[in-house]
Structure 1
Amino acid sequence: MTQTTTADMIAARIPGFALSRDLYCSDQTYQDDLENIFYREWLYAIPACEVPKTGSFATLQVGTYPVIIVRGADGRIRAFHNVCRHRGQRLCPKENGTNPKLVCPYHQWTYDLDGKLIYARDMGEGFDAAKYGLKPVHCLDIGGMVFICMAQVPPPVNELAPLMMKYLAPSGLADTKIAFTSTIIEKGNWKLVMENNRECYHCGGSHPSLCRTYSDNPNMTSMQGPHSASREILDHWDRCDDAGLPCRFVHHPQMQWRLARLPLLNGTESFTLSGKAAVKKRMGQIPFDTAGSLMFYHYPNTWNHFLGDHAIVFRILPISPTETQVTTNWLVHKDAVEGVDYDLDNLTHVWLHTNDEDRQVVEENQYGILSPAYEPGPYSPTQEEGVIQFVDWYCGVMAERLSPKPIAAE
């Protein structure tokens, strides 16, 4: 019997409908997703403030690739494959830390922070250390957010990078620190995690704390262009324009990324139960308390909120066909003092609860899709417009990259 491929399933999908069962849970599709998306696209990795000084490092796992990100003595942030060039030991097993050099725990091969091998004991005459530096991974710090790409030739960022730097500049991410980090495992396919994020159709029934400040009315987040949105959004953009705050809707032609600053519900200031700012010492140069949230997403693995008092940055990484790691960082001004300028529970309450509520939603979604009785249903064109955009982007990328390549004539 001929096995249905990922390309076949994508070709057979009904536009405007959820994906078929195996696209959410088969081993083959998971491998195809890694090879064609996670190993080829720019991935959000960490906030730059996670590696604040020389020797600071952070690690992550992208499919089968362990990666280390480190700040060098020249201030530059670099990424390398977290694999010793001697016998393949994982160089740094810790999630983060600070070291003056990168030293393999197995045989103490030692690398400088720029990846050069500077010490390898008893390797014999003729050993050329210059041939055994760490293998680099493409790495960019864009406005305080660090992206990596596993591909030999990464996609261009000439359109996104200047817009990101412009829109993020008022948040002053270079002068922030991580106040809290949460990492959870959601027992669902990475696409279900992203789909769930791209709609608020479920918010009223699932997110009571979030809905105090974030509207589940799709008109409040639906935008067609920099001058086409609901009256409330347009009024907010006019106010931001007057204050010199970048705000209007900009996006990738295929909606791979989007930036826009949107008002919170009823003139609230931040994602807290009270709606008031969580941090007294404000971030960057946001000109007024009710500036709302600069919302930024980038497929395949991040969505983010940049407020006047703090920022919440999210990263997802697939770890199996039906498991996804979700990491959330709360960023505050680097001089903000816990217990003085902010209360940690007040700062994190809304999104800790929202993340756990989303975890439950995604896991129940995955349980249902695993059933042989599952059949894709239609998306709401009003409530799930963002989901449709994501699924169309995913299917477009995969269809192009999985299609047979013509053989050149001799």
Structure 2
Amino acid sequence: MLASELDNGHISQGGNGDRIDHLVAAHKPGYGLTRPFYFDPEIFERDMQRVFFRHWHCLAHESVIPNVNDFELFKLGPEQVILTRAGDGTVHAMLNVCRHRGAEVCTKDRGNAKAFVCPYHAWTFANDGRLKAARLMPKDFKREDHGLKKLHVRVVEGLVFISFAEEPLDFSEVENLLRATCGQYGWGAAKVAYRQSYPLNANWKLAVENYVECYHCGPAHPEYSETHALEQPLHMIEELNAAMEARTCALGIEVGSGNHWQNSKEGREAIHAFRYALYDGVKTGSRDGQPLSTLMGRFSDFDGGVTSIHLGGTTFLVCYADHGMIYRFIPKTVDTCEMELIWLVDEKAEEGRDYDLEKLTWLWKVTTDEDKAIIEHAARGVVSRFFVPGPIAPMEQNELRYINWYLDEISRP
């Protein structure tokens, strides 16, 4: 039945019930997603409505807008979000859509401005979203009713999160776990050292599924696998992990971990934080395992470990003792997406003195170039009408969990 319904690459609307729900119900437990989930535009639209617009996303580290009146424009799928620091220092996020005729009011990628003037009819908005002036409107016009559409914002340990939802998911478990993890690494006192975006000719789920599993690390990432023990099954690195935890405790630090990976049924956001070891003698994620920058947060020495955080479906964080990584996954169209990588260092670290930018970024640039290639290989393969997904391997436990979570989310109105 499904093959005939999908011959043209789209879900048939005939018959009884919702065809996407039928596809979800037909999913074989323990297996990957079938081909329609990666190229059907109707599924992509549901992804946007029930995953992307429902959950929280890390937009940036607040150090990208360090000064009063700084702003930066972010593009997320069909939406544009203006991130600002208002005159009182508060952080705001607003849609770049004039409340008159819909034109873009912010026409620069970043800068410093107290207000945004729409180039169409000169409506003027303060950098906290309030409408300040609307020329030649009638006397009964209420400016207070026509400010820019504002998004929900949370700033935790320097990370700026936004939600498009009218009633956002509860963020308290996320906030607590971020303080127990990123807080110990000093991310609230960090700054962005470098950012790079990677456009992908692939559905966004292929990119996320690739990120959450390390079954592919050995074959695809030899550089990463030389230093990171996660390239082995978890039961094989228990001793390494125990030694790592002992070193962390000896430094007087308790880096939190916790599994709150949950669906949105109870109105709470999903987050999972876990720790794993680097190989013996490796201090951080670098070419040779040696330090890349000054120590961050509460760390007075290297513990030889990594803290990894999965959050809300599109945000992933990696914490080393001397630098941090933010991975943002951004759906664009049904068959394109973007990965943005953000490297963090201590706010007092200076390039050229405390870190070498090329060395700092080497590992994750190499790894992401490799990821881009294998994700796009997969994207070209899964659209074959002869593609049938195989079983998820034991080392892909996080992918299996992610797939089940995703299917549950798109089934939830």
Structure 1 unaligned residues grouped into runs of 5+: 224-228, 402-410
Deviation larger for 290-299 or 132-141: 290-299
Distance apart, 1:103 and its partner CA: 2.8
1:389 is aligned to: 401
> Deviations for 1:57-80, whole angstroms, at most 9, x for unmatched residues?
222233332211111222221111
Distance 2:370 2:152 in 1: 34
Q: Which residue of 1 aligns with 2:285?
A: 271
Q: What displacement does 1:248 show?
A: 4.5
CA distance in 1, matches of 2:259, 2:62: 23
Asked if 1:285 corresponds to 2:298, the answer is yes
How many angstroms apart in 1 are the aligned matches of 2:391 and 2:107?
44
**Structure-1 residue corresponding to 2:238:** 230
Whether 2:361 is the aligned partner of 1:348: answer yes
Q: Give the CA deviation at 1:291.
A: 4.5
User: Is contact 1:186–1:324 with CA below 8 Å preserved after alignment?
Assistant: yes
User: What TM-score do the two structures reach when normalised by structure 2?
Assistant: 0.89
Could you tell me which residue of structure 2 aligns to residue 116 of structure 1?
130
Give the AA of the match of 2:121. Answer: H
Once residues 172 and 94 of structure 1 are traced to their aligned partners in structure 2, the CA distance between those partners, rounded to angstroms, is: 31
* Whole-angstrom distance in 2 between the partners of 1:270 and 1:107: 53
Q: Distance in 1 between matches of 2:230 and 2:239?
A: 16
1:72 aligns with 2:86: yes
1:404 aligns with none
Q: Give the root-mean-square deviation of aligned CA atoms.
A: 2.0
Q: Cα–Cα, structure 1 residues 214 and 89, in superposed 2: closer, same or farther, change >3 Å?
A: same
Number of aligned residue pairs: give it: 393
The Cα offsets for residues 84-135 of structure 1, whole Å up to 9 and x where unpaired, read as 1222111223333322323333333222222111233333433322222111
Q: Structure 1 residues 16, 93: closer, same or farther in 2, change over 3 A?
A: farther
Amino acid at match of 2:331: P
Q: Are 1:262 and 2:270 matched, yes or no? A: no
2:156 paired residue number: 142
Question: 118-127 or 201-210: which moved more?
Answer: 118-127
State how far apart, in whole Å, the 2-side matches of 1:217 and 1:206 are: 10
Q: Identify the residue that residue 333 of structure 1 maps to in structure 2.
A: 346
Match of 2:197 among 148, 161, 183: 183
Once residues 153 and 63 of structure 1 are traced to their aligned partners in structure 2, the CA distance between those partners, rounded to angstroms, is 21
1:367 aligned to 2:375? no
Q: Which amino acid aligns with 1:308?
A: A
Amino acid aligned to 2:161: F
Following superposition, the deviation at residue 216 of structure 1 comes to 4.4
- Residue 320 (structure 1) shift: 1.0
User: Aligned to 1:136, what secondary structure does the other structure show?
Assistant: coil
1:294 paired residue number = 307
**Distance between the aligned counterparts of 1:21 and 1:9, measured in 2?**
10
1:180-202 CA-to-partner distances (Å, cap 9, x unmatched) read 11011111111111111111111
Matched with 2:98 is 84
Q: Report the more deviating stretch, 293-302 or 363-372.
A: 293-302
Q: In structure 2, what is the equivalent of residue 61 of structure 1? A: 75
Quick one: structure 1 residues 153 and 214, their matched pair in 2 at CA, closer, same or farther if it must change by over 3 Å?
same
Alignment of 1:32-47 (within 5 A): 32-47=46-61
Shift of 1:299: 3.2
* Cα distance between partner residues in 1 of 2:95 and 2:325: 27
Residue 376 (structure 1) aligns with: 389
Scaled by the length of structure 1, what TM-score is found? 0.90
What are the residue-to-residue correspondences of 1:187-266 with 2, within 5 Å? 187-220=201-234, 230-254=238-262, 256-266=270-280
For residues 263 and 245 of structure 1, the distance between their equivalents in structure 2, rounded to whole angstroms, comes to: 16
Q: Partner letter of residue 246 of structure 1?
A: E
Change (3 A) 1:355 1:120: same
The residue that corresponds to 2:188 in the other structure is: 174
Alignment of 1:4-43 (within 5 A): 5-43=19-57
Q: In structure 1, what is the Cα distance between the partners aligned to 2:233 and 2:256?
A: 15
What is the deviation of 1:20? 0.7
Secondary structure in 2 matching 1:241: helix
Structure 2 counterpart of 1:184, one-letter code: Y
Alpha-carbon separation, structure 1, partners of 2:88 and 2:319: 28
Q: Which runs of 5+ in 2 are unaligned?
A: 6-11, 264-269
1:244 shift after superposition? 3.5
Distance between the aligned counterparts of 1:76 and 1:291, measured in 2? 37
Name the aligned partner's letter for residue 332 of structure 2.
Answer: I
* Identity %, equivalent residues: 30
Secondary structure, in 3 states, of the residue corresponding to 2:215? Answer: coil
